[in-house]
Structure 1
Amino acid sequence: MTTATDTRSVIVEREIPQPATRIWKALTQSHLISEWLMNNDFEPRVGHKFKLRGEWGGILDCEVLAIEPERTLSYSWDFDNPDPAFALKSVVTYTLTPTDAGTHLRVEQAGFRPEQKQAYGGAHAGWKNFLAKLEEVVGAA
């Protein structure tokens, strides 16, 4: 049986030359989330259940777990897949820390089982791409 201590996390960090208020909007407004992450029915309210719809046709079931405006956002990120190598129950946490140059953004997706090497690698690459798009959206907002 797999326990929480048997899981790994993908962590991607980025310095964004924008204030936390702008990044927070891109993390919590549904139409902006659609521009950098996936189509969704997100609402910034603890307990809100929402779906992320990937361009590849996959649907992620999510629930807002924690919100501290302009500081932290956390939600479940569950992908049901018949292939256990890709079925994933995880938690994504965004942490924003103001810096002299803007904001340090840390994204952690926790919950990858040891046998999910491909999903882990895909998430690592995926988050780098998502954050590059996020930075474009925040710069244009």
Structure 2
Amino acid sequence: MTQAATETLSVVVDREIPYPPEKIWRALTQPHLIEEWLMKNDFKPVVDHRFNLRADWGAVDCQVLAVEPNKMLSYSWAAYGLESVVTWTLTPTSGGTHLRMEQSGFRADQQQAYQGAKGGWPRFFAALQQILARVD
């Protein structure tokens, strides 16, 4: 197996968000808020918890891998042959929070999924920021 065949791609979105990590954490971990910016879900911020994200186009099977409240959240993201990992990292800044999302594990032959994620995550971030602006 050549190195190229095993290399995977990642989608990374970085944003400075003018809210504290605790507020963003709620939007990343409370099912009713996740539904508003991402998809319907049965998420719980508990390691090994299996959950689904459901949309018109189908479902994503996920499992929580790591939880560090207000700091880091990681879960597997499996759909249509894609086996990937989504990791959220929250870093406090003077003006709020640096929020980083990395979805890793796209194979070179999964360009459609990769391009979809590259286009989709900035839209999810925009929706997330709108929810943060109106929830307490």
Into which bin does the TM-score normalised by the smaller protein fall? over 0.9
Q: After TM superposition, where is structure 1 displaced by more than 2 Å over at least 4 residues in a row?
A: 1-5
Following superposition of structure 1 onto structure 2, how do residues 33-44 of structure 1 map, counting pairs within 5 Å? Answer: 33-44=34-45
**What residue in structure 1 maps to residue 51 of structure 2?**
50
Unmatched runs of 5 consecutive residues or more in structure 1:
82-86
CA RMSD of aligned residues (A): 1.5
TM-score by length of 2: 0.94
Which residue of structure 2 lines up, in the alignment, with residue 84 of structure 1?
Answer: none
Residue 31 (structure 1) aligned with residue 36 (structure 2):
no
How far apart, CA to CA, are the structure 2 residues paired with 1:110 and 1:2? 19
Does structure 2 retain, via aligned residues, the 8 Å contact 1:97–1:104?
A: yes
As a proportion of its length, which structure holds more strand? 2
1:118 Cα deviation from its structure 2 partner: 2.0
In the TM superposition, residue 5 of structure 1 has moved relative to its aligned partner by 4.7
| Deviation per residue, 1:98-118 (Å, 9 max, x gap) | 111110100000000011122
Paired residue total: 134
- Gap runs ≥5 in structure 2: none
CA deviation map 1:5-50 (0-9, x unaligned) = 5111000111111111110000000000000000000011001000
Percent same amino acid among aligned pairs?
60
Secondary structure (helix, strand or coil) at the match of 1:103 reads strand
Q: Deviations over 1:62-111 (max 9, x none)?
A: 000000000000000000x3xxxxx2000000000011111010000000
